[in-house]
Structure formats: C-alpha cells, structure tokens
Structure 1
Amino acid sequence: MADQARISNLDAIEAFRSALIVFISKTRQALDTVQDAVKKNRAWLQTEQPAFWSSQIKQRQKRLDQAQQELMSARMSEFVETPAAQQMAVRKARAALEEAQAKMERTKAWSRDYDRTVDPLARKLDSLRDFIDSDLALAIAHLVEIQKILDAYNETPMPAAAPETQS
C-alpha cells in the first residue's frame, strides 16, 4: 500500500520535545541571570562606585594636605637639610589624588553612557525572551499535537487489501 505510512517509533518526537523543554528552561535561567547582572552593574556604577571614589578623593586629599604640611615643616626645620622624602610623599599623594579624580570622572562617563550602550543589547535579549516564551512554547504544543495525531494514526487498523482482479 503506497498510500499509507508505516510509523513505528514516535520516540524521536518525544526526545526532541523533551530537549526543547530543557533548552527553554536553561535559556530562561540564562536570560534571568543576564538581566540581574545588568541591573546590578547599573546600580554598582550609579551608586556604589561614585560613593567609593568620592570617599577615596576625600581620603587622598587629606593625605596630600598632610604631606604638604610635612614638607612645609621640613623646609622650615633646621634639622632637615633636604626634604626629598617629604617632596616624594607630596608627589605620591598628588598622583594618588589625581588617579582617584580620574577614576571618578570615568565612572561618571560610564554611568552616563551605560543605558545608551546596554539598553539596545538588553532589548535584543527581551526579543529573545519573547521568542522563547511564545514561539517555542507554541512549538512544544504543536509537537504534542503531532504526537497525538501520529498515535491515533498508528492505532487505526490497516484497511483490508482490495482483491486483485485478474484479466
């Protein structure tokens, strides 16, 4: 009978459906992780980092002020011939302060640019999530329907062969 298919094993469809369900689950977890990381990075960049560098600037400014006072005292002192150590301390403190100020400026720039840079990528992730939640969920439903249809097809008895006529 050329007009009837012989379906002997539906396990491949079930295995594919199961693998698709696992894929959807893992993909959702990965997308959730990425979205959490984006939120955490935004908060870190917009709140924690500015506060950290602001406090670092204050601390380093105090160290620079102290080093400058020690240099001034060394220059006025009769016991210190050359205040080289104090001059080096002032240079080091000034460099540290400039580094903190530069990092604060970079943090502000990153904070300003973060949403503009990250949001287009995050929207792509949202479209992937929509695809996963709608299209792949629909694919699973279709696979279930295909399984039901093929099971029903397998259950139907084969029609009796028509008697052949001899000429």
Structure 2
Amino acid sequence: MARGARVVSIELIGELRARLLAYREEAASILDNADSEVERAYRWVSQEQAAYWQSELRRREDVVVQARSDLARAEAQKEMGKPSTLDERRALERAKRAVEEAREKRQIVARWARTLDKEVQIYRGQTQPLRTHLEGPIERALTLLARFSQSLDDYVALSAPSQQSEGAASSGPAEGESVMSVGGADRARTADDWRRARPEFAAEQSSESPALLGRLATLLRGATAPVARHAASLGSGPFPMDQSMVDVAISEDPDDPLCLERVSASASDPQDSGWRIYSAVPRQDTLATGRVKVGELARSVSVFALLQAAPVGSLVVVQRQMVLAAFDPQGTELSRTIEKDTGATRAEDGA
C-alpha cells in the first residue's frame, strides 16, 4: 500500500535547493580558477619559457660568431704590432659559456614541461569526478527539487474537493482501470495506446540530422537509472550496427513523453536499425524529424546505450527522469510486473 509523503515545510525544499545551487556555483568557480592557474603555469613553462630560451640560444650563438671574428681580426693586427689579443680571447670564452648556459636552460625547460604535463593529467583525473558530480547528480537534484517545490505549491493551491467528487473517489476505480499514481493517466495506457502516436517517417524527411542528437541527449538526460531497472527484463535482440540509423520525430516541448520503440527493420532499407524515437503527444506541425546513427546515439545518450540491443517489440516511454511505461515484446508492462512481484510479499505480511 502506497504511503503519502510527510512534508513539514515547503520552504525548506526551496532553501535546500538554494544552498545546493550556491554550493554548485562555488565549487564550479573554484574548479575553474584552479584549472586556469594550472593551465597558465603549464603554458608559461612549455611555451613561453621554451620559446625564450630557444631565441636566447640563437642570439648567444651569434655573439660567439662575432667574438670569433673579433679575435681573428685582433690576431691579424698583432702581426702588425698590436701588443695582445687577451681581451678578445676572454670575450670569446664568455660567449661560449653563455651558449652552454642557454642550452642547459632549454633542456631544463623541456624536462619541466614533460613533468608538468604528467602532473596536469593527474590533476585533471582527480578533479574530473567532482566536475562530473556537479554537472550530473547535483544538476539532476536541483531539477528534482524544483519540481517537488512546484508540485507542492500547485497542491497547496488546489481547492478542497466537493462532496460529489469525494464520493466518486471513494467508490474506487472501475473494472480494468489502473490504480497506479506515478505518471497519472499515462500509466493506464497499453503498448498499443503508446504506439498509436508513432508518426509516419517519410523518406524525404528522414535524412541524417546531427542536430537531433543534441536535442535527444538533452531530453533523455537523467533517465538512466529508471531505464536500467527494466533493461535487463527486456532481454536482448540482434545488436544494431553502429552505422545503422534511428528514425526520430520529436517536439520542442521537454515535458512531452518520448517513446523509444524497436520495430522490425525495413527490408528495403539496409541501414534501418528498427529503432524509432518519437513524441508520444502528436504535434505534427512542430515535430523535428530526421535520422541519427546508432553508434553516435549510444555514445551520447546513456539511456539508449542500455536499450539498443532490446528485442523487436520492446517499447519504453520516458518523460524527463521518469519511466512512464516499459513493455516487453509480448506487450506486458514490465513496470507493473516488477511492482507486483516486489509488492506481493509486503501485501502478504500486512494481511
């Protein structure tokens, strides 16, 4: 039996979200500043200092050439009565030592550049988990808290139900109706109900469209965990080739449920993977249609990576971070099956 949530203060949810948002922004700022400092230090050694000592070496080599020329000229003048070439010899020795110093400095800079490169890679590897956490779980938590807060505000704004509606509610659901609360009326739909929203994919509208990939990644982000719960129950079919195509028809509205369905591949199209992704709310005037490659979609959208080998007939309906329904090839709703299996023992214990 489902139990209601005990909410003590709606304001606390908003306060928690504000503090979480402040933490994310402060942590991201610290990471960005640290990245900037590390990059500046590495660039100063590997580029600026390397270029400086390379230029300085060439300049000092020119000084050696000039010192040798001066010495040769002095020795020629010595034969004509010049007392000594000691100054010119000392100048040549100083120039040679300066060249050796420049070569040593260049080698030191190169050695430090290699060392810094390794340290930078270690630093990035150690800070990447935090950055991923800020962009993934923290971002999803912020979105979820905003939805919770909005839902509670909407609930508080509702007027009290009338006696007639209370009586209708207490009479219970009609025969054959679903009593699931998550997803509302959508959870009462069958697989055929969801499939009726599948649009026709005309050949001229199904050219490859890389722009759809980014939009799909945005719409499906965060739904990985709910999908993973059902992916194993779907089983496995023939694995589509990376270059095969997925037909897509989606709207601009991020709240529209998306159907991820695998149908029989077209016999006339060897590139067809059999996968269709489409908005479950028909909006033919605003649908963006096209095709994306299976391999690129699996790499960009973790939800699809879990499902790409699902057998023909599989259907999963996703709305933001929620799975509204999941059907196996026989049309059985997996979410209901799972809930029934996990809830049976609890029902017996409570009897």
* TM-score of the aligned structures, taking structure 1 as reference length: 0.63
Query: Counterpart amino acid of 2:64?
Result: L
SS of match in other structure, 1:79: coil
Cα RMSD (Å): 3.7
Q: Which residue of 2 aligns with 1:109?
A: 111
Query: Counterpart amino acid of 1:18?
Result: A
Quote the offset at 1:150 in angstroms: 6.2
Quote the offset at 1:124 in angstroms: 1.6
Contact 1:61–1:97 (CA under 8 A) maintained in structure 2: yes
Q: Which residue of 2 aligns with 1:64?
A: 64
Q: Residue 79 in 1 paired to residue 94 in 2?
A: no
Query: Counterpart amino acid of 1:79?
Result: K
Contact 2:45–2:112 (CA under 8 A) maintained in structure 1: yes
Quote the offset at 1:106 in angstroms: 1.4
Residues 16 and 68 (structure 1), Cα distance of their counterparts in 2 relative to 1, 3 Å cut: farther
Structure-1 separation of matches of 2:83 and 2:15: 85
Contact 1:74–1:83 (CA under 8 A) maintained in structure 2: no
Contact 2:53–2:105 (CA under 8 A) maintained in structure 1: yes
Greater relative CO, 1 or 2 (CA 8 Å, sep 6+)? 1
Quote the offset at 1:53 in angstroms: 2.5
Structure-2 separation of matches of 1:6 and 1:96: 77
Structure-1 separation of matches of 2:102 and 2:72: 24
Quote the offset at 1:105 in angstroms: 0.6
Structure-1 separation of matches of 2:124 and 2:37: 11
- Structure 2: tracts of 5 or more residues without a match: 1-5, 159-351
Residues 5 and 20 (structure 1), Cα distance of their counterparts in 2 relative to 1, 3 Å cut: closer
Structure-1 separation of matches of 2:155 and 2:114: 62
Which one has a larger percent helix, Structure 1 or Structure 2? 1
Quote the offset at 1:61 in angstroms: 0.8
Contact 1:75–1:83 (CA under 8 A) maintained in structure 2: no
Deviations 1:51-76 (A, max 9, x none): 44323212111102212332343345
Count of residue pairs brought into register by the alignment: 151
Structure-1 separation of matches of 2:25 and 2:129: 16
Structure-1 separation of matches of 2:83 and 2:14: 87
Quote the offset at 1:95 in angstroms: 2.8
The range that moved more, 58-67 or 48-57, is 48-57
Deviations 1:82-103 (A, max 9, x none): 623x344333322321221012
Which one has a larger percent strand, Structure 1 or Structure 2? 2
Contact 2:71–2:85 (CA under 8 A) maintained in structure 1: no
The range that moved more, 32-41 or 136-145, is 32-41
Query: Counterpart amino acid of 1:62?
Result: D
SS of match in other structure, 2:136: helix
Q: Which residue of 1 aligns with 2:127?
A: 125
Quote the offset at 1:144 in angstroms: 2.9
Quote the offset at 1:155 in angstroms: 7.2
Deviations 1:128-154 (A, max 9, x none): 110111121133234335545765787
Structure-2 separation of matches of 1:22 and 1:34: 18
